[in-house]
Amino acid sequence: MKVKVIIHENEGGGYTAEVPAIPGCVTEGDTRDDLLANLREAVEGCLLTIPGDFSAVDDGGTEEEVDL
């Protein structure tokens, strides 16, 4: 599955990512590889717990499409 995510590089180190199509679906990682590994779990958890219609929110960051 491919999902568009917004990736933020944190000032103190590490990364944070959000999935615009799933409000509240956010994860983080110390490295980019850690972040991408955590994304799959975050998306699965959000889809299992958040009911409703999902829409994108644009608030900056770098948008990428990643394989989960």
Domains in the chain: boundaries = 2-67
Q: What pLDDT score does 52 carry?
A: 58
5: which 2 tokens? 């995510």
Q: What pLDDT score does 57 carry?
A: 52
Give tens-digit pLDDT for 14-45. Answer: 999 999 988 889 999 999 999 999 998 999 88
CA distance 17 to 10: 10
CA proximity to 68, closest of 17, 13, 8, 24 = 17
Q: Is the pLDDT of residue 6 over 60?
A: yes
Query: What CATH number should be reported for the domain whose range is 2-67?
Result: 3.30.160.250
